[in-house]
C-alpha cells in the first residue's frame, strides 16, 4: 500500500507547485482535464478553446470545463500508428470568416497520409468542410505524419509533412513526404512557390529533406517560419525555413540508426544542404513550439519554447537573431510528455500532455 501511494504521488502533476527558472519563478495551473491523447489547442476570440484528440475528436473547452460532445462535421480521420487528428489553427481573419483548419491522417487508394481541411465553425459544428490538400503518394507505414499548420503575415498557409517512415522519400521531387507545403488559404498553389512549374516536382513543396516536423512557428520579429523535427536516435533539429532549401535528410543528419548506432547517409554536412540552427543529441523528441512575446514573463520575451515527448520537459531556447545562444530545461519529469506548446492571447504559456488521460495546463508567474 505504501509503495502504491508513493507511485501515485510521483505520477500526480504538480499543479500549484512553484518552479524556478533562471529568469522567472512560475507555477503550473490546471486548465482542462479528461483529454484522450490531445495534440493541439487553438484559442477562440470568445475565450473558448478548441482541442484536438488524436483519435479524431475536436473538443471544446469553456471556462475550464470540457464540453461533453465533440465538434460535429469533421472530415474522416484515420488513426494509424502515429497518425490521427493533429493540428487545429484558426484563419488569421477568423472573427470575420469563422474558418478552422485541421491537419489529419486520412486513407486513400495508396495508403494513409496527411491531409488538410477547413470548415466554418458554427456553434459546435463545422460546416462547408473542404479538403484543401492531400499528401501524394500516401503510404502503408505508421510513422512520421508531421501535421503542424502555420499562417504567415501575408496569409500564406504552411503544412509540415514527415517522410512517412521511408527516409528516401524526403529527397524525391515528385513526393510530398518530408517537406513543408505552402498554399493559399483556399488550397491553391502560389505561383511563386520555388518548384511550381518545374517538371517532375510537386508544386506545393516549399522545402525537401525534412524527417518529421511537429513544431512550426513564425519568428515574431522577422515573420520567417521556423520548424523543428525529430531525428533518429539523436539529431533533433530546429530549422529556419528557406524557400527551395534542402534540409538534408537522410543524406546528412546528426542522428544514427536506431539500436545499432551506425552512421546514416554521408555525415553531418554537405554543400547545398542546410544546417540546423540547433540540434539535440541525444534526442528529446520535440513536439509543439512557440515564440513568447507576452507580458506575463517579461524576461522570457523572445525565447523559443519547445515541448519534449521523450524527456518529458519544456525547453526554453534563448536567441540572438537566428542563433541559439542558450538552453534551459524546465518541468523535467513533472507532467509527462508535452505534445503542444502555445503562447496564449492572455500572455500565459499553455501545454498539452500526450496521454490517454491528458490535460491542458498553463504556466503563470509564481510563487
Rounded Cα–Cα distance for residues 121 and 266 (Å): 48
Nearest to 213 by CA among 228, 199, 231, 201: 228
Q: β-pairing, 338-343 with 349-353?
A: antiparallel
Rounded Cα–Cα distance for residues 286 and 164 (Å): 17
80, 98, 144, 278: which one is catalytic?
144
Burial grade of 235 (CB within 10 A; 0-12, 13-18, 19 or more): buried
64: cell is 475550464
Q: What is the CA radius of gyration of the chain?
A: 20
Instruction: Give the other-Cβ count within 10 Å of 126's Cβ.
Output: 22
Active site residue 86: no
Rounded Cα–Cα distance for residues 342 and 360 (Å): 11
Instruction: Give the other-Cβ count within 10 Å of 281's Cβ.
Output: 13
299: cell is 524576461
The residues carrying an active-site annotation are 144
Amino acid at each position: 500500500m505504501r509503495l502504491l501511494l508513493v507511485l501515485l504521488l510521483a505520477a500526480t502533476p504538480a499543479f500549484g507547485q512553484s518552479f524556478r527558472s533562471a529568469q522567472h519563478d512560475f507555477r503550473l495551473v490546471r486548465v482542462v482535464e479528461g483529454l484522450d491523447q490531445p495534440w493541439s489547442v487553438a484559442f477562440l476570440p470568445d475565450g473558448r478553446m478548441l482541442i484536438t484528440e488524436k483519435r479524431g475528436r475536436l473538443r471544446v473547452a469553456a471556462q475550464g470545463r470540457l464540453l461533453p460532445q465533440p465538434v460535429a462535421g469533421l472530415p474522416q480521420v484515420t488513426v494509424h500508428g502515429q497518425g490521427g487528428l493533429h493540428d487545429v489553427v484558426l484563419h488569421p481573419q477568423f472573427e470575420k470568416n469563422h474558418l478552422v483548419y485541421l491537419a489529419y491522417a486520412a486513407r486513400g487508394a495508396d495508403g494513409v497520409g496527411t491531409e488538410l481541411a477547413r470548415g466554418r465553425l458554427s456553434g459546435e459544428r463545422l460546416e462547408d468542410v473542404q479538403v484543401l490538400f492531400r499528401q501524394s503518394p500516401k503510404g502503408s507505414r505508421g510513422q512520421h505524419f508531421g501535421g503542424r499548420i502555420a499562417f504567415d503575415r501575408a496569409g500564406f498557409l504552411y503544412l509540415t509533412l514527415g517522410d512517412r517512415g521511408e527516409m528516401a522519400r524526403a529527397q524525391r521531387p515528385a513526393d510530398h513526404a518530408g517537406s513543408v507545403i505552402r498554399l493559399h488559404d483556399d488550397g491553391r498553389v502560389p505561383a511563386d512557390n520555388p518548384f511550381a512549374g518545374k517538371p517532375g516536382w510537386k508544386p506545393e513543396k516549399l522545402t525537401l529533406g525534412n524527417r518529421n516536423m511537429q513544431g512550426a512557428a513564425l519568428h515574431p520579429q522577422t515573420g520567417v517560419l521556423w520548424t523543428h523535427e525529430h531525428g533518429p536516435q539523436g539529431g533533433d533539429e530546429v530549422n529556419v525555413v528557406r524557400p527551395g532549401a534542402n534540409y538534408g535528410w537522410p543524406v546528412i543528419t546528426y542522428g544514427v540508426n536506431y539500436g545499432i548506432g551506425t552512421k546514416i547517409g554521408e555525415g553531418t554536412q554537405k554543400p547545398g544542404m542546410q544546417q540546423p540552427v540547433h540540434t539535440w543529441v541525444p534526442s528529446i523528441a520535440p513536439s509543439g513550439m512557440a515564440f513568447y512575446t507576452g507580458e506575463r514573463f517579461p524576461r522570457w520575451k523572445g525565447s523559443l519554447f519547445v515541448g519534449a515527448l521523450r524527456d518529458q520537459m519544456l525547453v526554453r531556447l534563448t536567441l540572438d537573431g537566428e542563433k541559439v545562444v542558450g538552453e534551459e530545461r524546465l518541468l523535467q519529469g513533472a507532467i509527462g510528455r508535452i505534445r503542444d506548446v502555445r503562447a496564449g492571447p492572455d500572455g500565459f504559456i499553455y501545454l498539452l500532455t500526450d496521454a490517454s488521460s491528458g490535460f491542458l495546463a498553463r504556466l503563470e508567474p509564481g510563487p
